[in-house]
Amino acid sequence: METVFYSLQDFMLCTKTVTYVLMGLGLFGLLGYWLFLTGRDESIRKF
Amino acid sequence: MNAQHPSTDNIHNKTTPAFSPGRLIRENKLTALLIAMGLFVTVIRFTQGLGGVSNLDDNYPWGIWISFDLLCGVALAAGGYTVTSAYYLFGLKDFHTAVRPAVTSAFLGYLFVVVALHFDVGRPLRLVYPVFVSQGTTSVLFEVGLCVFLYLTVLAVEWSISAFEWLGWKGIRTVIVRLTIPLTVMGVILSTMHQSSLGALYLIAPSKMHPLWYSPFIPVFFFISSMFAGMSMVVFEGSLAHKGLHDQMDEAHLRDADKITLGFGKACSIVMMGYLFIRIFAIAMDNNWNLLSTAYGKWLMLELLGFVALPSFLYAVGVREKKIGLIRFAAVVTVLGVVLNRFNVSLVAFNYNLPSAEKYFPHWMEIALSVFIVTLMVTAYRFICTFMPVLREHPDYKAH
């Protein structure tokens, strides 16, 4: 589905909104992924 | 000193065979054949010009020599700055035994990038002009050239410690060891600049590149992908060294190999996931979602899901389950993914709107020359690891 934009303002508002929402999800996703990655590490930090 | 390092001393004395060109050729027939083929192409290149060996034209002045030898070569040689900064700057001492193999492969990688450039530029003797004669300070390519020139010098100095230990030149070796930290800092700065600038080269051609690959953030993509490309290459080379150069490794290198693989696996996994996210953000920023259903979109999905998301997940599972084999497999997929990305940016997405009859496909001699360059690099790596203390500590010198 292609969105029709009538002005640069419309385009920027839409794309930036979507990007910021994705960034928020990405930050939480990355945090969850880090917990998954380090879930079985020993408690003593070696690196 | 020898009494303190009995195992390394044994290895050092045992594995220094006498150099014999005739024996080397007999034992390495395939290598000799590939080098002979490369020399044949070299003669044609320098007697008949670029047109005699390549399919380059005005639409495609850069072919696979740039895509593979330069873009992939520089990205995959990034292990030098990642490992040295991890060890010397961030103090991750567990990576000690990975430093010299990484610096050696980075030095050879950059060295042969420059060798390959001599085939690709129309007037190779003028390769030094941008740095010493006519500086185009407004050009991104000037910045790339200057950084590669300086970083190759830095790597040569860092790598020379192994050569000087082999030659027994203790005085100059001591001087260079004292320069390690400044050299590492310079290496990180120069790598940050030119790894990203290689991507910035394509910012000048927004109308020629497919929108799914063109982005104002392409320098960031190139820099971040170089991090996991370099670390994956170190893991991949380490697994090859374990098979082919096992007898050259001392106890410390054999013992630490798994720990280093796990460390790099973890780093690659999280960096690749971050890279995947910012590639998706770039699609959102340009509102290119509708292009994902096209053939180019499916190709991009293959690149991102098959060669970024999948190896990132494989790395994560390998690290969680302590499966070294899985991490090594993920490293191979990652290396292939970085090669695919560089080919996509410089060849597949570049000139995407040209009719298929005008598209570029490399001449067999272009491929032969790239194979020749890789063969030379592998041969040089084997030579260095056989004769110099790269995969083992030299018994006369303390670790620095």
pLDDT at B347: 94
pLDDT average, residue stretch B273-301: 95
| pLDDT, tens digit (0-9, with 9 covering 90-100), for B134-176 | 898 999 999 999 999 999 999 999 999 999 999 988 899 999 9
The amino acid that residue B97 corresponds to is: T
CB < 8 Å & 24+ apart, contacts of A15-21: A15/B284, A15/B285, A15/B286, A15/B287, A16/B285, A18/B284, A18/B287, A19/B281, A19/B284, A19/B285
Count of domains forming chain B: 1
| pLDDT, tens digit (0-9, with 9 covering 90-100), for B193-236 | 999 999 999 999 999 999 999 999 999 999 999 999 999 999 99
Mean pLDDT of chain B: 90
* Residue B259 resides in a domain: yes
The amino acid that residue B120 corresponds to is: D
Q: Apex CA B332: angle with CA B330 and CA B336, to 5°?
A: 115
Query: A35 at the B interface (CB within 8 A)?
Result: no
- d(CA B270, CA B277) in angstroms, rounded, equals 11
* Residue B132 resides in a domain: yes
What tokens appear for B146 in the block?
């200057």
* Residue B397 resides in a domain: no
pLDDT at B192: 94
Q: Which of A1, A18, A37 minimises the CB distance to B284? A: A18
pLDDT bucket at A46, cuts 50 / 70 / 90: low
- d(CA B374, CA B363) in angstroms, rounded, equals 17
Helix (H) or strand (E) holding B107: helix B96-120
The amino acid that residue B323 corresponds to is: K
pLDDT bucket at B2, cuts 50 / 70 / 90: very low
Q: Please provide residue B209's backbone torsions phi and psi, each rounded to the nearest 5 degrees.
A: -100, 145
pLDDT at B4: 39
B211 vs B1, residue with greater confidence = B211
| pLDDT, tens digit (0-9, with 9 covering 90-100), for B44-65 | 999 999 999 999 999 999 999 9
Closest-CA residue of chain A to B318: A37
B148 vs B257, residue with greater confidence = B148
* Residue B383 resides in a domain: yes
State yes or no: pLDDT of A44 exceeds 70: no
Query: A28 at the B interface (CB within 8 A)?
Result: no
A33 vs B238, residue with greater confidence = A33
Residue of B95, B94, B68, B67 whose CA lies nearest to B81:
B95
Global pTM value:
0.90
pLDDT average, residue stretch B92-108: 92
Contacts of A47 in chain B (CB under 8 A): 92, 94, 263, 266
* Residue B400 resides in a domain: no
Residue of B400, B386, B399 whose CA lies nearest to B4:
B399
Do residues B373 and B45 touch, judged by C-beta distance below 8 A?
no
- Contact criterion met (CB < 8 Å) for A40 and B290: no
- d(CA B314, CA B301) in angstroms, rounded, equals 18
Do residues B216 and B203 touch, judged by C-beta distance below 8 A?
yes
In this prediction, the answer to ipTM > 0.90 reads no
Sign of CA dihedral B114, B120, B125, B128: negative
pLDDT at B374: 95
State yes or no: pLDDT of B336 exceeds 60: yes
pLDDT bucket at B8, cuts 50 / 70 / 90: very low
* Residue B5 resides in a domain: no
pLDDT at B177: 92
What tokens appear for B115 in the block?
């060798």
State yes or no: pLDDT of B13 exceeds 60: no
For residue A37, give how far its alpha carbon lies from the nearest alpha carbon of chain B (Å): 5
* Residue B274 resides in a domain: yes
One-character DSSP codes across B160-173: HHHHHHHHT-HHHH
Closest-CA residue of chain A to B288: A2
| pLDDT, tens digit (0-9, with 9 covering 90-100), for A13-22 | 999 999 999 9
- Contact criterion met (CB < 8 Å) for A3 and B287: yes
Q: Is A28 exposed, middle or buried (0-12, 13-18, 19+ CB in 10 A)?
A: exposed
pLDDT bucket at B395, cuts 50 / 70 / 90: confident
Domain containing B46: what range? 26-353+362-387
* Residue B229 resides in a domain: yes
Closest-CA residue of chain B to A46: B94
